[in-house]
Structure 1
């Protein structure tokens, strides 16, 4: 909201010496955040003076253009007192007119420097200025012709044009709609300084009578009050007075015509949006109702709109003529031939205005105010102010008929204890201060011994409960006076178990060279198709969002992999040689437990009500996903590098399980989006934890990452459930280690994990570690055979093992592997 300071001062007597900076600082402290302080003279420097045209000689040019060679009296501003010779291309002035002249040495907006230069055969010493050249408007067709009483030649034109006027721009919060007007900003300025305030809406207005234009309101909830006034004999060619056009421009609005400019001016002045109809285009009584589903209206912007049954519309006998409170229709629009104007000042339901504006994607100054809530009491006064300006400057006559349908809605009565502001804010606020501050913002108070009942003013629809009143008291006392008190740390509290475990997970993965990313948790069919998921895959059953950010990703995700794969592809396309990314986040799986109950917001639901609410929520487990792609180990003088693969993915989960003290089981599996022969199912305590392995080549191609990239996705909730809060350190033995290597021939479809599990169990307690170090295939072994070589390490905590003990443990391990997997030891 832009507000000229002189306009603010028109309604409030600010103390002497108050600067614009002082004023904006006080208003910001009250909640009107300052955006900018502007001056109309910004970008203009140097001598800008009033000049009188003495002579004007038209000179046609070869290019078909006619210029005027002028002599202009600028008084002593040029240092000589002699007339100034200036070439001008405009023709809307004559000898004897007062004009605005910038002399050599001056600078216009855009850093346009003025100098004496030869043009069209003359030495032109300055410029006769138009409104656009001074940054005052878009009019570039003619120069500014000043009124005869504007001043004498040589006078400073800055003051004549109001260029030294300062304009402040505030960011207005949605709950302070009253400040979208000079009336509201001036009221806050009066509050800030305790200065006298003159309400521009405080005026005597004629009462309603039977001679007014007929109006019927079928929906008094949507339109509680409708005022109609008529002006006849209006001159559509009457110009907008300069002072009004200037104020509109300073407030950021473009002057259009007197009829339109008056409604905009009153809206800025009072905050009450006004709409004007060409009365001669109306057919029969005006009626306010809800639209029928599918009805249409062409609005003032030329758009044909299909209406909803929730839209409030204004109609006459011809049909719909306006979208109530949002935008008028084309059929009754005021034009350059309008001589009879019907003025509409109506109060509209804010919620309906907001929904209609959103539904039709209409953003207007009127809609912005109506949807936030406007003072309903001043509706007759705003209409009367419009009539006054139209008749004063447009030559019209006010019709004696006055229509007022409905009354302003009543404000709620709010009971508050005297000490509540002090208890909430922590400031020393006594009862007298509470009473004084509430009265200062316009509340009507009824006091008793311990409480007072406040009726908020009609221009404050945001005041509805005791804590709204606390905020009003506190902001006047000053938020800078709120004491700074550090919260006391409750003993015995800290991070929860889940928080500690999640941090351990993050540290472990970071230590393994992975980088955490956060991606949007939304998904569409395209991503699920790219993962190669079959049509009946559970991951395709998603929770659809009621209001998705994107129609292409309308559901909450069931897997973290799409976001990670997109991030990996983006990094690789930017030149990264390899990526190791991980993400932790919730996924959602729908459950059919019926719709969620909807409770009010004025009380806390009971435990049983909360339980019913949570029952309707989808399952939302916490998942962990990892993507490894490209270079895993760099090449250098130490040797060749290595690409990431399936073993790295499984190794990360093994490392994570070891850190959390969880025993992990790895078995072969086939699961999209992994490669069928290079995928492992991960289990904890016999329950599926997730999968890891090499991604299918088609998936890699779909996401634009190298083939043989690997990925992991596990249920982190399940992993943390079985995690140890403190992982015990390893037991160390001072006795030497005994080494045994075995090579076992097994069928090609036997997994190394099965063989390893059998060896581990058969070796018994003396086995310290086991590692697969070679896989060998050859024609001699046979096409359906492979050789697996394991390194077994034995150690006892209390003695040095003998060869017999080591051999017995090895043989027992091999025997159990042979029994379970058909393994045969190679000699």
Structure 2
């Protein structure tokens, strides 16, 4: 909400030296969010009031152009200007005091006429933005100044026409800066849903009154005149939708009466365009008191008014010129012709106030906030009135707001007030709230001065009673009608604390209890993340939501367990409404997004939960919000949750080693994905085995199965070309995914045993069928060599004619060592021969000659 400081100050007794910045700081202290503080840019030079004396329409141009003669003051008479006594001109009196100062000005606006008062920037004036005015030749005429719009003066955003002042505002030549209030400041605030009363000068001034502890003049303190009969016959069919509905009528309104300048100025600074006196008054009262009003052209009404829900098939053409299909959940105001207003949101076009309207029916009501919010979202029709109604409006305001509006229309529009008033419904007052008098002190950990609680609650409008119950002082607060959010002791505590200042509450960190810290699983997860980051992988945080189509892109079988997902009732994106069963889709999305932005060499990782539906997944039970759930309900909620294991995954694309002067680089391959799995296993302190497998979405011939013991914990390798094509990934993209929770936790890590005896290094080359996986041959060598083997590392793979078709050579580097002695050559040879024998027994391996 935008509000000028001068308007707020009118209702407060603030020191004269109070700055707008101090007001903004005060708003922040009481819990309001200040978005901007904008001072109107100063205008220097001769900015004056002018009267349009003559208008000449210029032709021959693509747009309307006017050549105007504007009176901007009086030129003093000089001694030689007098006329001879016998001249029969009859103007000697005017010359004696000076003549009108007429300036020729070229203008493209058409919203003014001869005799209107305008704002003129004479040559030498510098307007906001550093725009300097000078006399110049344009459209074949001389323009000796500029007639200004509200936007050019910094008063608002309306630049559709120049600023026309009401007749009698000032005489031509009067300096305009002070009259226009160009020294004002506008404060813009973001009003939270629970502070709807702050959508008004009344509410904001009250907050400042609490912040500065200064008296507050409530603009809603008006005397409502007595009514004689009804203003218009009306009935309400759904009282829950319209707790209160008030109407009053004015006749003989002058439709040509201008809106007074002070009102137009405040509306412009608040961001509302001036339309007509009747409409401007309703907007002004809404900003001042927070009660939206609506004005009907009484002559357009047909029969009695009815407030009800819309019926199926009904339509309404609203003031924005759009015909809307009404929903049975919409609340409407109707006459005999059907709906004439979308209640609390926008009026209808058939009863709009027009340029000739003299008979006006004003409406002020209280509407159910939730229904207004649904209507706004359903029709995508936000309005200033709806902003207030969906946050709740003071139910005691309707009659007072109408009285204020009638007073303004009578004063400036010479209207006559109809003696009747329709007032349906009642004021629903909040229930009293009782709390311990020292509860704010105990919550904040601060000992406030005596009487602070009662004083602060009184400042926000509560009626306070302090009593003693069982020897303890308690306070009973009856909240005001504009604070329906005060329903429990915690709400009263918050009011006391925010008005006393959150900055007065000490920040004390609680002492961490001894013997607690990260769990073993959390420590392992952090170790894995750090290891991958050190290895050059970049962590991403993708959303855990996927589309069902991703499983088709992955090539999963119809009975694949990964297709058993959990659906969201209220997804962020309609096409991604399922919880993922693998972290790969989010990582691959990140790869696609990076590639589309020119980043092709990628190594990404993510550690996060996946969601696996149970074989018998129970439904989520309903739980009441009236109190804490029972232990049985909490157990049922936990049982309804899916399994959520933590997975770690990496994706590689492009170059793993970048080219440069040091070499030609190396493309990422399936071996890098397998090595990432080994890295994870090393930092999880578990042994990992690798063997070939076929598992979507990996390439059948380049997929490795990751095992801990006999349990499969993940897969790694190169993605299938069809998957790469379907997802738009770079060619030969590789990936690894591993179930981190499936790895056993090593609570006690044994100290490493370091042997003081030298190792025996041997090389071993075995010839096997090319179809035999190297990883399985490595496992056979390790098993055969026995406990003396420290390491068996594959360092060469060779295929050639001398080996024969379908054969390849695998060369291993063996390191043998005993912990208690120096190995003999015979012992080392025996271990090597045992390794060869094991490989020969399992795969028919032979020693390469």
Q: Give me the TM-score of the superposition, normalised by structure 2.
A: 0.89
Moved more, 754-763 or 109-118: 109-118
Instruction: Name the CA distance, whole Å, in 1 between partners of 2:465 and 2:721.
Output: 77
Correspondence for 1:549 among 566, 572, 580 = 572
- Gap change, CA 1:636 and 1:49, over 3 Å in 2: closer
Cα deviation for residue 255 of structure 1 reads 1.0
Correspondence for 1:771 among 783, 789, 793 = 793
Moved more, 687-696 or 335-344: 335-344
Instruction: Name the CA distance, whole Å, in 2 between partners of 1:248 and 1:73.
Output: 29
Q: Is contact 2:106–2:141 with CA below 8 Å preserved after alignment? A: no
Task: Tell whether 2:672 aligns with 1:648.
Answer: yes
SS in 2 for 1:742: strand
Root mean square deviation of aligned Cα = 3.0
Q: Is contact 2:50–2:70 with CA below 8 Å preserved after alignment? A: no
Task: Tell whether 2:836 aligns with 1:814.
Answer: yes
Cα deviation for residue 695 of structure 1 reads 1.2
Which residue pairs with 2:427 in the alignment?
Answer: 408
Instruction: Name the CA distance, whole Å, in 2 between partners of 1:368 and 1:61.
Output: 46
Which residue pairs with 1:804 in the alignment?
Answer: 826
Deviation string 1:664-701 (CA, Å, 9 cap, x unpaired) is: 12222111111001111112232221110111122223
Which residue pairs with 1:371 in the alignment?
Answer: 390
Q: Is contact 1:46–1:105 with CA below 8 Å preserved after alignment? A: yes
Instruction: Name the CA distance, whole Å, in 1 between partners of 2:140 and 2:534.
Output: 80
Correspondence for 2:533 among 510, 513, 516 = 510
Cα deviation for residue 66 of structure 1 reads 5.7
- Gap change, CA 1:777 and 1:492, over 3 Å in 2: same
Moved more, 438-447 or 332-341: 332-341
Task: Tell whether 2:170 aligns with 1:150.
Answer: yes
- Gap change, CA 1:373 and 1:759, over 3 Å in 2: same
Task: Tell whether 2:319 aligns with 1:300.
Answer: yes
Which residue pairs with 1:323 in the alignment?
Answer: 342
Moved more, 388-397 or 429-438: 388-397
Q: How does 1:101-112 map to 2 (within 5 A)?
A: 101-112=120-131
Cα deviation for residue 365 of structure 1 reads 0.6
- Gap change, CA 1:28 and 1:329, over 3 Å in 2: same
Moved more, 292-301 or 671-680: 292-301
Instruction: Name the CA distance, whole Å, in 2 between partners of 1:484 and 1:809.
Output: 67
Task: Tell whether 2:505 aligns with 1:488.
Answer: no
Moved more, 558-567 or 174-183: 558-567
Instruction: Name the CA distance, whole Å, in 1 between partners of 2:474 and 2:729.
Output: 69
SS in 2 for 1:175: helix
Instruction: Name the CA distance, whole Å, in 1 between partners of 2:151 and 2:828.
Output: 99
Task: Tell whether 2:450 aligns with 1:436.
Answer: no
Give the unaligned 5+ runs of structure 1. Answer: none
Cα deviation for residue 629 of structure 1 reads 1.7
Instruction: Name the CA distance, whole Å, in 2 between partners of 1:467 and 1:197.
Output: 26
Deviation string 1:27-49 (CA, Å, 9 cap, x unpaired) is: 33222333333344x15222223
Cα deviation for residue 420 of structure 1 reads 0.7
Cα deviation for residue 117 of structure 1 reads 4.0
Cα deviation for residue 16 of structure 1 reads 4.0
Instruction: Name the CA distance, whole Å, in 2 between partners of 1:290 and 1:657.
Output: 65
Which residue pairs with 2:90 in the alignment?
Answer: none
Deviation string 1:752-796 (CA, Å, 9 cap, x unpaired) is: 232222222221111111122233344565544443333322111
SS in 1 for 2:193: coil
Which residue pairs with 1:211 in the alignment?
Answer: 230
Deviation string 1:402-429 (CA, Å, 9 cap, x unpaired) is: 1111112220221111111111112221
Task: Tell whether 2:695 aligns with 1:671.
Answer: yes
Instruction: Name the CA distance, whole Å, in 1 between partners of 2:738 and 2:485.
Output: 48
Which residue pairs with 2:91 in the alignment?
Answer: none
Which residue pairs with 2:520 in the alignment?
Answer: 497
Q: Give me the TM-score of the superposition, normalised by structure 1.
A: 0.92
Q: Is contact 2:147–2:162 with CA below 8 Å preserved after alignment? A: no
Which residue pairs with 1:162 in the alignment?
Answer: 181
Which residue pairs with 1:461 in the alignment?
Answer: 484
Q: Is contact 1:27–1:188 with CA below 8 Å preserved after alignment? A: yes
Instruction: Name the CA distance, whole Å, in 1 between partners of 2:207 and 2:188.
Output: 14
Task: Tell whether 2:633 aligns with 1:606.
Answer: no
Which residue pairs with 1:314 in the alignment?
Answer: 333
Q: How does 1:574-585 map to 2 (within 5 A)?
A: 574-576=597-599, 578-585=601-608
Q: Is contact 1:15–1:195 with CA below 8 Å preserved after alignment? A: no
Which residue pairs with 2:648 in the alignment?
Answer: 624
Instruction: Name the CA distance, whole Å, in 2 between partners of 1:68 and 1:292.
Output: 56
Task: Tell whether 2:697 aligns with 1:698.
Answer: no
- Gap change, CA 1:209 and 1:565, over 3 Å in 2: same
Which residue pairs with 1:757 in the alignment?
Answer: 779
- Gap change, CA 1:258 and 1:85, over 3 Å in 2: closer
Deviation string 1:221-262 (CA, Å, 9 cap, x unpaired) is: 222111122223334343322222222111110111222212
Task: Tell whether 2:93 aligns with 1:73.
Answer: no
Task: Tell whether 2:281 aligns with 1:262.
Answer: yes
Moved more, 26-35 or 128-137: 128-137
SS in 1 for 2:264: helix
Instruction: Name the CA distance, whole Å, in 2 between partners of 1:446 and 1:217.
Output: 37
Instruction: Name the CA distance, whole Å, in 1 between partners of 2:250 and 2:146.
Output: 43
- Gap change, CA 1:748 and 1:452, over 3 Å in 2: same
Q: Is contact 1:422–1:430 with CA below 8 Å preserved after alignment? A: no
Q: How does 1:375-414 map to 2 (within 5 A)?
A: 375-414=394-433
Cα deviation for residue 122 of structure 1 reads 7.4
Deviation string 1:518-546 (CA, Å, 9 cap, x unpaired) is: 12222114433333333433323322222
Cα deviation for residue 497 of structure 1 reads 2.0
Which residue pairs with 2:88 in the alignment?
Answer: none
Q: Is contact 1:659–1:727 with CA below 8 Å preserved after alignment? A: no
- Gap change, CA 1:8 and 1:512, over 3 Å in 2: closer
Deviation string 1:686-717 (CA, Å, 9 cap, x unpaired) is: 22211101111222233444333211011122
Instruction: Name the CA distance, whole Å, in 2 between partners of 1:273 and 1:35.
Output: 24
Moved more, 763-772 or 336-345: 336-345
SS in 2 for 1:680: strand
SS in 2 for 1:245: helix
Q: Is contact 1:421–1:474 with CA below 8 Å preserved after alignment? A: yes
Which residue pairs with 2:271 in the alignment?
Answer: 252
Q: Is contact 1:59–1:69 with CA below 8 Å preserved after alignment? A: no
Which residue pairs with 1:184 in the alignment?
Answer: 203
Cα deviation for residue 430 of structure 1 reads 4.1
Instruction: Name the CA distance, whole Å, in 1 between partners of 2:139 and 2:720.
Output: 77
Task: Tell whether 2:739 aligns with 1:715.
Answer: yes
Deviation string 1:174-206 (CA, Å, 9 cap, x unpaired) is: 211111101111222222333332222222224
Instruction: Name the CA distance, whole Å, in 1 between partners of 2:159 and 2:731.
Output: 64
